[in-house]
Amino acid sequence: MKRNKISRLLAVSMSVCLLAAGVTGCSSSQEDSADQTAEENTSETEGEETEILVAAAASLEYAYEEELIPMFEEENPEVTVKGTYDSSGKLQTQIEEGLEADVFMPAATQQMDALTEEGFVDGESVTDLLENQIVLITSAENELGLAEFTDITKADTIAIGDPASVPAGQYAQEALTSLGIWDEVLAKSSLGINVTEVLNWVAEGSAQAGIVYATDAATTDNVKVIAQAPEGSLAEPAIYPVGLVSASAHQEEAQAFLDFLQSDEAMAVFEAYGFTSHAVSE
Q: Can you give the CATH number for the domain in which 63 is found?
A: 3.40.190.10
Pair 113, 145 in one domain: no
Q: What is the pLDDT of residue 44?
A: 38
Pair 152, 172 in one domain: yes
Q: How many other C-beta atoms can be found within 10 angstroms of the C-beta atom of residue 217? A: 22
DSSP string spanning 224-261?
EEEEEPPTTSSSS-EEEEEEEBTT-S-HHHHHHHHHHH
Pair 252, 112 in one domain: yes
In a domain, 17, yes or no: no
Q: What is the pLDDT of residue 34?
A: 45
Pair 218, 139 in one domain: yes
Number of compact structural domains in the chain: 2
In a domain, 9, yes or no: no
In a domain, 2, yes or no: no
In a domain, 150, yes or no: yes
Q: What is the pLDDT of residue 236?
A: 87
> Hey, is 276 helix, strand or coil?
strand
In a domain, 19, yes or no: no
CA–CA gap between residue 52 and residue 47 (Å, rounded): 16
What's the per-residue H, E or C state across 41-80? HHHHHHCCCEEEEEEEEHHHHHHHHHHHHHHHHHHCCCEE
Pair 100, 175 in one domain: no
Q: What is the pLDDT of residue 231?
A: 92
Pair 77, 146 in one domain: no
In a domain, 31, yes or no: no
CB 237 within 8 A of CB 154: no
Pair 138, 113 in one domain: no
Q: What is the pLDDT of residue 38?
A: 44
Q: Which helix (H) or strand (E) holds 161?
A: strand 158-161
CB 219 within 8 A of CB 133: no
Per-residue pLDDT of the chain (282 residues; tens, 9 = 90+): 434 443 443 444 444 333 444 444 444 444 454 455 444 444 334 457 899 999 999 999 999 999 999 999 999 999 999 999 999 999 999 999 999 999 999 999 999 999 999 999 999 999 999 999 999 999 998 888 999 999 999 999 999 999 999 999 999 999 999 999 999 999 999 999 999 999 999 999 999 999 999 999 999 999 999 999 999 999 988 999 999 999 999 999 999 999 999 999 999 999 999 999 996 545
Q: What is the pLDDT of residue 251?
A: 96
In a domain, 5, yes or no: no
Q: What is the pLDDT of residue 49?
A: 87
Pair 141, 118 in one domain: no
In a domain, 14, yes or no: no
Pair 138, 224 in one domain: yes
CA–CA gap between residue 4 and residue 43 (Å, rounded): 58
Pair 271, 222 in one domain: no
Q: What is the pLDDT of residue 143?
A: 81
Pair 117, 139 in one domain: no
Q: What is the pLDDT of residue 255?
A: 97
**Residue numbers of the domain that contains 273:** 50-124+242-281
CA–CA gap between residue 152 and residue 136 (Å, rounded): 7
| Angle of the 109-117 helix axis to the 167-178 helix axis, nearest 10 | 120
